[in-house]
């Protein structure tokens, strides 16, 4: 046991980080501190760093020196504008909303994340001082012995019933520890309490540093006994729930499954190889007929299984696909029911922890009192599942070195159930629903991505670049629900952040891991084979036969769909690009796609957009014009296409429910997909058509001549690649 004697404290303080011990400019005599009317900047820095790095030593020194109460240190850790520390302007705006009686701002979740910085000392012309040093809000540590900052710790408050977000401030440090993060969280909670905002939850990364932070706050992560809450102020009756980021937890579970390869659970077996085989599945033709109609169509319009690489690993689509492939009789997917069951359970848990709006349905919707029984049952099922998982040697995984991902979900489940019971279920509850995405790091990751973009560099920014970007975002930050950072219409939405953060949890990432060669992107030759890149002629003039023109448009639209599908991350949007067929099961990761001469048959919406684009191009532009490479000309064509589409039949009917997955705004996945289809077609038609040689041919395609002098490529030929039958 350490005895905090004056000699020990003096000796320890001289080992404080950044040379902030009892230096020559810091008075050591007690009477010197008592005689001062106010604290000097050096004394403020010393008090703040001592409290943040060693609170027990701070409490002892308060008995000797007249140091302020720890709660009052928030004033010294606060600044105006965009300097390091708490942002006073944001807190003032939050206080105004609370005082106006806006109930949505009275309760929030708090999250913390760090961002790596480039160590670099720079001269600030405006302040005439060196920058790049550590700064905890009480002033820059400008000294020869002060190290350069290597990380920025960012804190954010998020609404739990309304999707507002508020960046509360940042701190420039040389090294981040769990104890430091815990102290900063306590100070943030104090400052929010002072303006009338109650913190209900805290979220950190599912990392070693996050675990250290949780334990420093009093959280217990033990399979035998989980303590999911801590009291603040200490000893009070107010409990604050702790959450680990779900995305990080999913990555750890993926790592555990990959390392163990096989996981046993009450007679069922979860095998990683099933997922690998699914991700590596080549495009194949299904043998089973679905009716006389499909038989009569023949091989040229036959259905093919195509892996949707945008599908998340832990999703209903993967579970359905595994079960479907097992029914088809593929040897690689026999006995995969245990894997499908595990994936489906994880998918449902992910849905619960990604409630982003009040209009979503089922487990993806907001957590309301009526869902408590359903979600509680799911959590109990997950707990019974996780505590009985064993490896091939019979050892419990929940007690192994790969337990953190599973323990994080158990801790999050207990925290969410507590919030349901106390803040959603009672009749006098302050909120009748909870937006569970507020308990992940997704909102803060949106802000960090905007910061990185504002910095203008792909690598780690310097302190000066970070502070300039933070100042820019803070000036345009609106506390209104769902408002984008920076005020731009192209800002990343919560759904896009969710998909982007889970990019390494898709089937595509698994395929890339086991097969580093990238997938083949459809080349322009495929578009040539569609018979649309015609030199000096618009499509409507070249194809005088309307049936041939319609088939050409179909092929072109199919090519556009394949082009967009190669880079599309959203599973729902990807599926909407191709023609649906109600007679065949449409598994999320396996799409049944018809083929027309080697090109996928597009959905009616993609065909319609492509057709209108071709009409606009025929009416307002000639291939080969010198001005068609200008951006203004392309924008004018896109505007005319959108004008033609207005008032027409609704596009992409399968995306109707998908519109509620993100923010309710004009610039959503629906409008983005319409723009992408239009831009892709116009770009290919205007940028590549003039390079087509009249002598070019593809396979057995033949140049034919109709009335007049226009040439076109025969729509039938050998462009269709050889397909492998399922089970062959």
| HSE, side-chain direction, 13 A CA sphere, residue 326 | 16
DSSP classification of residue 68: P
Task: Indicate the SS3 state at residue 66.
Answer: coil
- Under 8 Å between Cβ of 405 and 249: yes
Report the pLDDT value the prediction gives residue 257, as an integer from 0 to 100: 95
Give the position of tokens 């593809």: 698
pLDDT for 35-93, tens place per residue? 444 677 777 777 777 777 777 777 777 777 777 777 778 778 888 877 888 999 999 99
Q: Which backbone phi and psi does 518 adopt, to 5 degrees?
A: -70, 155
Total residue count of the chain as it appears in this document = 728
Helix axes of 316-328 and 337-352: crossing angle, nearest 10 degrees: 160
pLDDT at 529 over 50: no
Any idea which of 46-60, 422-436, 709-723 has the lowest mean pLDDT? 709-723
Q: Which pLDDT score is estimated for 43?
A: 74
Both tokens of residue 100? 């106006």
User: Is the pLDDT at 362 greater than 70, yes or no?
Assistant: no
Q: Is the pLDDT of residue 418 over 50?
A: yes
Task: With CA atoms as reference, report the closest residue to 726 among 287, 384, 176, 205.
Answer: 287
The CA distance from 179 to 185, in Å, is 10
> C-alpha dihedral over 480, 481, 486, 489, to 10 degrees?
-120
In this prediction, residues 575-604 reach a mean pLDDT of 78
Query: Is the pLDDT at 654 greater than 60, yes or no?
Result: yes
pLDDT tier at 598 (50, 70, 90 boundaries)?
confident
Of 293, 111, 284, the residue nearest 188 (C-alpha)? 111
Asked if 717 and 530 count as a contact pair (C-beta separation under 8 A), the reply is no
The chain-wide mean pLDDT, for the chain, equals 76
Please give the Cα distance from 641 to 675 (Å, whole number). Answer: 10
pLDDT for res 412:
95
Is residue 493 classed as helix, strand or coil in its secondary structure? coil
**Of all residues in the chain, what percent carry a pLDDT higher than 70?**
71
Query: Which residues, in sequence order, are bridge partners of residue 114?
Result: 153
Tell me the per-residue pLDDT of 148-200, one tens digit each, with 9 for 90 and over.
888 999 999 999 888 899 999 999 988 888 999 999 999 999 999 999 999 99
Q: What is the mean pLDDT of residues 257-284?
A: 90
Compute the distance between CA of residue 160 and CA of residue 533 in angstroms, rounded to an integer: 53
Q: Give residue-wise pLDDT tens across range 200-223.
A: 999 999 999 999 999 999 999 988
Return the top range by mean pLDDT from 67-76, 161-170, 484-493, 648-657: 161-170
Which residue would you say has higher pLDDT here, 592 or 26? 592
pLDDT band of residue 135 (cuts 50, 70, 90) is confident
> Over 80: is that where the pLDDT of 428 sits?
no
Per-residue pLDDT reduced to its tens digit, 437-467: 889 998 898 899 888 888 877 788 888 889 8
**What are 169's two structure tokens?**
């401030």
Q: What is the rounded CA–CA span in Å between residue 49 and residue 101?
A: 36
CA proximity to 136, closest of 169, 178, 94, 168 = 169
Say how far apart CA 141 and CA 259 lie, in whole Å.
45
CB 34 within 8 A of CB 41: no
pLDDT at 28: 54
Q: Please state the rounded mean pLDDT for residues 658-665.
A: 62
CA atoms within 13 A of residue 236's CA, in its CB half-sphere: 8
CA distance 19 to 351: 49
- Position of tokens 């810091």? 26
What is the pLDDT, as a whole number, of residue 359? 52
Count of CA atoms in the C-beta half-sphere (13 A) of 371 = 25
- Over residues 679-697, the mean pLDDT reads 59
For residue 546, is pLDDT > 50? yes
* Angle made by CA atoms 645, 650, 656, in degrees to the nearest 5: 135
Q: What residues contact residue 516 under an 8 Å CB cut-off, 6+ apart?
A: none
Burial class (CB in 10 A: 0-12, 13-18, 19+), 705: exposed
Name the pairing type of β-strands 724-725 and 711-713: unpaired
């Amino acid at each position: 046991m350490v005895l905090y004697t004056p000699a020990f404290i003096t000796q320890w303080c001289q080992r404080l980080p950044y040379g902030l011990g009892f230096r020559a400019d810091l008075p050591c005599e007690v009477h010197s501190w008592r005689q001062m009317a106010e604290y000097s900047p050096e004394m403020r820095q010393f008090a703040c760093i001592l409290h943040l790095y060693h609170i027990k030593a701070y409490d002892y020194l308060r008995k000797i020196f007249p140091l302020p109460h720890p709660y009052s240190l928030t004033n010294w850790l606060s600044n105006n504008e965009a300097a390091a520390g708490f942002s006073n302007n944001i807190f003032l705006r939050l206080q105004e909303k609370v005082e106006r009686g806006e109930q949505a701002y009275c309760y929030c979740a708090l999250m913390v994340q760090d961002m790596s910085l480039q160590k670099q000392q720079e001269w600030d012309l405006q302040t005439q001082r060196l920058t790049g040093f550590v700064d905890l809000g009480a002033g820059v540590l400008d000294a020869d012995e002060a190290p350069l900052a290597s990380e920025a710790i960012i804190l954010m408050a998020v609404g739990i019933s309304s999707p507002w977000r508020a960046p509360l401030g940042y701190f420039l440090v040389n090294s981040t520890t769990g104890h430091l993060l815990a102290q900063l969280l306590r100070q943030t909670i104090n400052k929010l309490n002072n303006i009338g905002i109650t913190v209900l939850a805290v979220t950190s990364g599912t990392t070693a540093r996050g675990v250290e932070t949780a334990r420093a706050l009093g959280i217990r992560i033990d399979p035998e006994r989980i303590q999911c809450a801590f009291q603040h102020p200490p000893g009070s009756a107010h409990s604050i729930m702790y959450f680990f980021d779900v995305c990080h937890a999913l990555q750890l579970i993926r790592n555990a499954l990959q390392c163990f390869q096989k996981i046993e659970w009450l007679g069922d077996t979860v095998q990683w190889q099933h997922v690998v085989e699914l991700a590596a599945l080549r495009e194949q033709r299904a043998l089973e007929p679905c009716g006389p109609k499909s038989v009569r169509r023949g091989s040229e319009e036959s259905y093919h299984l195509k892996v949707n690489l945008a599908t998340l690993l832990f999703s209903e689509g993967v579970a359905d696909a595994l079960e479907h492939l097992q029914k088809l009789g593929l040897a690689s997917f026999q006995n995969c029911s245990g894997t499908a069951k595990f994936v489906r359970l994880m998918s449902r848990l992910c849905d619960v922890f990604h409630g982003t709006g009040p209009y979503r349905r089922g487990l993806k919707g907001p957590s309301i009192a009526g869902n408590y029984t359903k979600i509680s049952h799911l959590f109990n099922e997950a707990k019974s599942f996780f505590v009985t998982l064993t490896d091939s040697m019979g050892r419990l995984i929940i007690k192994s070195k790969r337990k953190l991902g599973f323990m994080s979900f158990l801790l999050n489940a207990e925290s969410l159930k507590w919030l349901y019971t106390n803040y959603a279920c009672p009749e006098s509850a302050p909120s009748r629903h909870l937006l569970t995405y507020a308990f992940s790091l997704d909102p803060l990751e949106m802000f960090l991505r905007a910061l990185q973009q504002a910095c203008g560099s792909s690598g780690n920014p310097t302190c000066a670049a970070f502070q300039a970007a933070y100042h820019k975002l803070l000036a345009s930050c609106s506390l209104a629900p769902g408002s984008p950072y920076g005020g731009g219409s192209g800002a990343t939405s919560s759904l896009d952040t969710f998909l982007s953060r889970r990019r390494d949890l898709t089937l595509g990432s698994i395929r890339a891991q086991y097969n580093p060669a990238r997938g083949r992107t459809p080349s322009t030759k495929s578009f040539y084979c569609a018979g649309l890149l015609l030199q000096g002629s618009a499509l409507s003039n070249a194809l005088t036969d309307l049936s041939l023109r319609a088939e050409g448009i179909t092929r072109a639209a199919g090519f556009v769909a394949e082009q967009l599908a190669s880079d599309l991350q959203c599973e729902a949007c990807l599926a909407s690009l191709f023609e649906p067929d109600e007679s065949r099961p449409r598994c999320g990761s396996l799409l049944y796609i018809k083929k027309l001469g080697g090109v996928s048959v597009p959905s009616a919406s993609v065909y319609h957009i492509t057709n209108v684009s071709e009409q606009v191009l025929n009416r307002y532009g000639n291939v080969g014009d010198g001005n068609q490479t200008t951006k203004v000309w392309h924008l004018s064509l896109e505007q005319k296409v959108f004008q033609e589409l207005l008032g027409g039949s609704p596009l992409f009917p399968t995306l109707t429910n998908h519109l509620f997955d993100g923010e309710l705004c004009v610039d959503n996945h629906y409008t983005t997909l319409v723009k992408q289809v239009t831009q892709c077609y116009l770009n290919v038609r205007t940028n590549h058509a003039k390079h087509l040689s009249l002598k070019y041919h593809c396979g057995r395609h033949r140049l034919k001549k109709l009335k007049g002098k226009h040439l076109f490529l025969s729509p039938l030929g050998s462009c269709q690649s050889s397909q492998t039958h399922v089970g062959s």
